A and B are shown apart, each in its own frame.
Chain A
Amino acid sequence: MIRQKSRPDPAAPADYGDPCGEAAAVHASAGLFALSDRLVFLKGADAANFLHTLSSNDIKSLAPGRGAESLFLTARGKIRMPFTAWAFPGHVAVQIAGDLLDSFVSLIESSVVMEDVALDEQPDAPRMFHLAGPAHAEVLKSLSLPDFLLSSSPLEGEEAPVRRSVVSERDILIFSRDRTVERGVDIAVPESRADEWHAAARSAVEKFGGRLCGAIAEDILRIEAGIPKFGVDYTADHLPQEASREEIAVSFTKGCYTGQEVVARINTYGGVNRRLVGLVSDGPPACPGDPVFRDGKPADREVQSPTLQSQKIPGGNFLHGALGAGSVTSAARSIKFSRAVALALVSKGSFDPGTRLRIGSPDGPAAVVVDIARQGSLASAAASKIA
């Protein structure tokens, strides 16, 4: 077992008094978030190949310093859990949501048989933060941390300047990762120094007009960016294509992995019956669980089943989407675009981009469907005029 399991979860506060102001600060300057993510290191000669054969994306081809999102699937193609792999010389770092750490460790421990793979116990396991906003590079610089474009030497075969995925500075790791519509980085700081570092980072962020951001601001910003969350917008009940993760977290050319047959069959022969999409509306913000209608009919009616009940999911929320009680899974009012944005699980015939749906009732506020398989598409749609 790894020591991180016994560490108390440093859950981020819901807000620091003004969630909308916190979200606005990210667009205007910079925001600093405390993440619940964990970083686990897999060592051994087979580490990258092991993750490659077990998950949906091409991990084996990652050059040192590169990262990729990937999914563990069941043999039937349903999502067990998402994670991000970062390649280092001789090992792989896996970034995973804190509440999935135990499941991840169990999966790894039960899957290693002949392979030279081991979970590397970190005596000073890192705590994760996210820094985002137009001033994030300046904040990094003031903390004596490198910005990618300025500091990275090119990888073999690449031309400078290169935006690396990972930069290591002293014992701090910086990962290029956009969790909002603004550029940002995840930062892993050894636990023993995390409080001290966070205080210094807070001062630096505030010097540039930024703010500490809580979980509510984080949620507003991820919905605005069209980034779905496992356990909220999609669950272990969904296929990668249903969760719109196939562009980001699936390789269709890497070869076999658990669940590959189902995922490949969907890709080759046809689509899915439900899909997670983005919604952009000029109406009031929706609520998670709101039904979605098309032509006066529930947009999820084709996937309703009398045998299915509302499903309890991690985090205490209820997911309704495909279960007949509603279709909106996450909703917020975008600070940047002054529009309502949402993620919703809708049925075939309703998930084509540009489809006009109604939220809440057959004559409720109009919303336009946006495909979220590519990151940034929801923000692009929100920034443009709704047809």
Chain B
Amino acid sequence: MTEQTAETKPAPFIRVSDEAAKWIGIFHTEQKLDPADYAFRVGVKAGGCSGFEYVMRMDRPKPEDRVFEHNGAKVVVDEKSLRLLNGSTLHFIMKYQGAGFTILSPRVAATCGCGTSVSFKSEPAPSTSTAPPG
């Protein structure tokens, strides 16, 4: 475990899994969106039974967004959402009852029954012992 100080604390980050990166590429192709203009946006907004809902869509990046790239797939997150999503991983899961992107977050305190709404723990930071993806 590395001791963290204000100077060495890594910047907030999210990870993108191999499968999620692959499917972001597929969505670019299927929706005929130029990867130079569009990225996959991940965010958080108020709503749902537990207080917050994830936002996921193809979107034009904004100058203030943080950008995370993996295997050529570009994921953008606004600063306020990133505070809640710090340490999360964007996955793509395939199940008998549907497939889609999902977020695994160490900061989630509870989810609602249908699983689309979450509440977050109040403590500000997840474990930072793992380096952000390179």
Q: Which residues of A contact B (CB under 8 A)?
A: 50, 53-54, 75, 111-115, 256-261
Q: Is the CB of A115 within 8 A of B51?
A: no
Cβ-closest chain A residue relative to B119: A75
Contact flags (1/0) for B41-58 with A, using CB distance below 8 Å? Answer: 001111111111101000
A211–B48 Cα distance when bound, in Å, is: 47
Within 8 Å of chain A (Cβ to Cβ): is B100?
Answer: no
A260–B84 Cα distance when bound, in Å, is: 23
Q: Is the CB of B44 within 8 A of A75?
A: no
Given contacts A114-B81, A261-B112, contact A256 B117 (CB under 8 A): yes
A258–B114 Cα distance when bound, in Å, is: 13
Q: Which residues of B contact A (CB under 8 A)?
A: 43-53, 55, 78, 80-81, 84, 110, 112-114, 116-117, 119
Q: Is the CB of A75 within 8 A of B51?
A: yes
Q: Is the CB of B43 within 8 A of A113?
A: yes
Q: Is the CB of B51 within 8 A of A111?
A: yes
A112–B51 Cα distance when bound, in Å, is: 11
Task: Give the shortest distance, in Å, between B18 (CB) and chain A (any CB).
Answer: 27
Specify which chain B residues have a CB less than 8 angstroms from the CB of A54 in the assembled complex. 46-47, 51
Q: Is the CB of B43 within 8 A of A258?
A: no
Specify which chain B residues have a CB less than 8 angstroms from the CB of A256 in the assembled complex. 47-49, 112, 114, 116-117
Q: Is the CB of B55 within 8 A of A257?
A: no
Contact partner of B45 (CB less than 8 A), chosen from A113, A257, A259, A260, is A113
A246–B46 Cα distance when bound, in Å, is: 22
Cβ-closest chain B residue relative to A54: B46
Q: Is the interface of A mostly helix, strand, loop or mixed?
A: loop
Specify which chain B residues have a CB less than 8 angstroms from the CB of A111 in the assembled complex. 46, 51-52
Task: Give the shortest distance, in Å, between B14 (CB) and chain A (any CB).
Answer: 15
A75–B112 Cα distance when bound, in Å, is: 9
Cβ-closest chain B residue relative to A260: B49
Of B50, B84, B113, most A-chain CB atoms within 10 Å: B50
Task: Please name 6 further chain A to chain B contacts, defined as beta carbons within 8 Å, in addition to the given A113-B52, A114-B78, A257-B47, sorted by A numbering.
Answer: A75-B50, A113-B45, A113-B46, A114-B44, A114-B80, A115-B45
Specify which chain A residues have a CB less than 8 angstroms from the CB of B81 in the assembled complex. 113-114
Specify which chain B residues have a CB less than 8 angstroms from the CB of A257 in the assembled complex. 47-49
Specify which chain B residues have a CB less than 8 angstroms from the CB of A113 in the assembled complex. 43-46, 52, 78, 80-81, 84
A8–B85 Cα distance when bound, in Å, is: 39
Listed A/B pairs (12) with beta-carbon separation below 8 Å? A113-B44, A113-B52, A113-B78, A114-B45, A114-B55, A114-B78, A256-B48, A256-B114, A256-B117, A258-B51, A260-B49, A261-B113
